[in-house]
């Protein structure tokens, strides 16, 4: 199934076939650009969606043509039932691809069971190729464990992408280190431009930096952009015949970033979010009960999509009500 066959279409004519589902708001890392003071649960917060609720949500989504699901967070591997969630997602009729976004801390023991449960791709955040830089960004001296987790994923046959948020003065000199790694390791390292979040204006001003120098360096070194399919995400990926791995660039401030939007987001507590940098959400949780048919869940999703904005307003310094991407899964 591709973008043309999904029945979820917004007023701008964009087709939605991809769901990013947060399975927990909790995180065990303290990344400087996301949760620098660590995760603290709000006393009033309700629990995350159960496996059964997730199953019903995915049935509704799949009935609308959504075929790809990414489990994210917070840190999804903090959920003891993650393997069960993956199995439920992978066995939902219509869902053909289940991916995971993780900080990689617990991957070493989880890669094989997750692959056996039906996972096909893992995105691991590694914001620096060196131990010192990694700890400075994440607050955790765990690079060796995370790298071992990546190796376990590759051994388990999982496709691996590595996400790096590029930060001025922090890791904007890290390209060479990543290049040494991908020469023999079949992972795609994707540099992401720092996105502004509500209340973090000073951090953004200090550390936001363009991806242009990375692109220029890659092209100068003989890397070539890979032609993109219509259903591809926002990353432009690059390949080089001398390297086992690759690179990618994700530029949310670039032209046409929103024009290619193909994804919906659901929070850990069942709120449908139409834009990473929007305001408000549509509650779906009350519909994720045995008495409600998938068709009704689908109708609510379809109706909500009519209100999807054409694009974010990051250029006007408006990051919506998103305080950090851990709340939505990035
Ligand atoms: N804990 C998982 C992880 O570490 O990947 C999943 C959640 S994390 C919020 C998802 C992605 O969002 C990560 O790749 C992270 O680097 C990215 N992210 C978080 N805050 C960001 C920001 N302000 N700008 C750009 N990317 C960000």
CATH code assigned at 205: 3.20.20.70
Please state the atom number of ligand 1 nearest to the C-alpha of residue 72: 6
Alpha carbons 197 and 55: distance in angstroms, whole number: 31
More confident residue, 255 or 199: 199
pTM, rounded to two decimals: 0.94
**329 Cα–ligand 1 center, Å:** 7
More confident residue, 71 or 277: 71
Helix, strand, or coil (residue 238): strand
**73 Cα–ligand 1 center, Å:** 9
Pairing of strands 236-239, 263-266: unpaired
pLDDT per position as a tens digit, 268-295 = 999 999 888 888 899 999 999 999 999 9
Kindly tell me if the per-residue pLDDT of 1 is higher than 50.
no
Quickly state the pLDDT bin for 225 (edges 50, 70, 90).
very high
Total domains, the chain: 1
User: In which domain, by residue range, is 73 found?
Assistant: 2-327
- Please list every protein residue whose CB sits less than 6 Å from any atom of ligand 1: 27, 33-34, 72-73, 75, 101-103, 125, 163, 165, 192, 194-195, 197, 325-326, 329-330
Phi, psi of 229 (to 5 degrees): -90, 160
Please state the atom number of ligand 1 nearest to the C-alpha of residue 324: 20
**Best residue among 126, 165, 204, 276 to mutate for probing ligand 1, ranked by most atoms within 8 Å of CB:** 165
**Sign of the torsion angle spanned by Cα atoms 214, 216, 217, 218:** positive
Residues near 175 by Cβ (< 8 Å), separated by ≥ 6? Answer: 214, 217
Per-residue pLDDT averaged across 57-75, rounded? 96
Contact 323, 27 (CB under 8 A): no
For atom 9 of ligand 1, the residue with the nearest CA is: 326
For residue 9, what are the β-bridge partners?
15
Kindly tell me if the per-residue pLDDT of 5 is higher than 60.
no
More confident residue, 257 or 248: 248
**252 Cα–ligand 1 center, Å:** 13
Please state the atom number of ligand 1 nearest to the C-alpha of residue 75: 1
Note the pLDDT of residue 45.
66
Q: In what order do the strands lie in the sheet with 159-166?
A: 224-225, 236-239, 246-250, 188-193, 159-166, 121-125, 97-102, 68-72, 18-22, 263-266, 271-273, 282-283
Phi, psi of 273 (to 5 degrees): -115, 130
How far is the CA of 314 from the CAs of 31, 97, 157, 211, 282, in angstroms?
21, 30, 38, 17, 22
Percentage of the chain lying above the pLDDT 90 cut:
75
Alpha carbons 19 and 262: distance in angstroms, whole number: 9
Per-residue pLDDT averaged across 180-208, rounded? 95
**326 Cα–ligand 1 center, Å:** 7
């Amino acid at each position: 199934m591709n973008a043309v066959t999904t029945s979820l279409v917004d007023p701008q004519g964009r087709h939605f076939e991809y769901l990013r589902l947060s399975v927990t708001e909790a995180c065990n890392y303290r990344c400087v650009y996301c949760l620098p003071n660590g995760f603290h649960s709000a006393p009033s917060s309700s629990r995350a969606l159960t496996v059964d609720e997730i199953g019903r949500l995915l049935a509704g989504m799949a009935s609308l043509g959504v075929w790809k699901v990414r489990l994210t967070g917070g840190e999804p591997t903090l959920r003891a039932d993650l393997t069960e969630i993956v199995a439920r997602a992978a066995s939902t009729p219509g869902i053909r691809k289940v991916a995971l976004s993780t900080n990689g801390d617990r991957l070493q023991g989880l890669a094989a069971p997750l692959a056996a449960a039906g996972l096909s791709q893992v995105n691991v955040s590694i914001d620096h190729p060196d131990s010192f830089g990694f700890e400075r960004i994440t607050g955790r001296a765990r690079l060796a464990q995370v790298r071992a987790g990546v190796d376990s994923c590759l051994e388990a046959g999982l496709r691996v992408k590595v996400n790096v948020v590029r930060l001025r003065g922090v890791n904007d000199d890290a390209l060479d280190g990543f290049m040494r790694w991908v020469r023999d390791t079949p992972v795609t390292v994707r540099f992401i431009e720092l996105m502004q979040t509500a209340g973090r204006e000073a951090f953004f001003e200090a550390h936001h930096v363009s991806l242009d120098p990375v692109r220029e360096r890659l092209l100068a070194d003989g890397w070539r952009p890979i032609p993109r399919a219509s259903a591809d995400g926002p990353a432009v990926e690059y390949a080089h015949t001398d390297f086992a791995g690759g690179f990618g660039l994700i530029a949310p401030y670039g032209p046409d970033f929103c024009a290619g939007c193909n994804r919906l987001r659901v929070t850990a507590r069942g709120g449908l979010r139409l834009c990473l940098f929007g305001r408000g959400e549509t509650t779906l949780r009350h519909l994720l009960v045995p008495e409600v048919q998938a068709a009704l869940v689908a109708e609510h999703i379809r109706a909500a999509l009519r209100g999807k904005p054409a694009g974010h307003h990051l250029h006007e310094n408006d990051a919506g009500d998103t305080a950090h991407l851990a709340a939505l899964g990035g």
